[in-house]
Amino acid sequence: MSSFFGLGKTRTFKPRKDVPEGTKQYQLRKYAEATLGSGNLRLAVQLPEGEDLNEWLAVHTVDFFNHLNMLYGTVTEFCIPSECPIMSAGPRYEYLWEDGVKYRRPTKLPAPEYVDALMNWAQNLLDDEAVFPNRIGVPFPKNFRDTVKTIVRRLFPHLNTSYRHFFLFIHEFDLVDRKELAPLDELNDAILAEDLKVR
């Protein structure tokens, strides 16, 4: 298995290829980028009138994957099996990996191996034209929404874990003024309280 966190050969996951220019997904990506620039995230996630829901879901799922991929690239040298032996979100939530192929039952993995398995699994789905078509006229599979639900559900724990790691790091070294973090005060206070219980 190739490694995202330096378990074997060091590499980062390649972002999924951009959809071809001129396709509906390309146009939707450009629309999403423009609405994100407006500062109104609620507007940025709403399905544009008259557009196909599956196309919109595909564009955002790929973008979330790519953003998470870049985020994990920044912590790869810090999260090694000895430092991150469990894939968790604090002491109350542990994530087990199951893919139905190599891991047929929920399996405890060190965080770097878990993330490596997740990112490879997601990338294989995103690159599969039968699951995520990006050519004009190729329909989405009937179970597409369920596939997207599974991908984003699995990406969520890792985004949560990354934020916890980021926040604890900046808190430890006093790198960001507390007033800058005010929008997430409640979450940050909960992370600090949970961290104190573990120590």
Residue 19 pLDDT: 60
Please state, in angstroms and rounded to a whole number, the distance separating the CA atoms of residues 50 and 125: 27
**Domains located in the chain, CATH noted:** 24-198 (1.20.140.30)
Residue 44 pLDDT: 75
What averages of pLDDT result for each successive group of 10 residues across the chain (199 residues)?
38 52 67 61 81 89 87 74 84 89 95 90 94 87 96 86 80 90 89 75
Q: What token pair was written down for 180?
A: 């800058």
pTM of the model: 0.72
Residues that constitute the known binding site for Zn(2+): 79, 84
Exposed/middle/buried for residue 83 (C-beta within 10 Å: 0-12, 13-18, 19+): exposed
Residues that constitute the known binding site: 79, 84
Residue 17 pLDDT: 54
Alpha-carbon distance values, 194 to 88, 173, 188 (Å): 13, 18, 10
Residue 31 pLDDT: 65
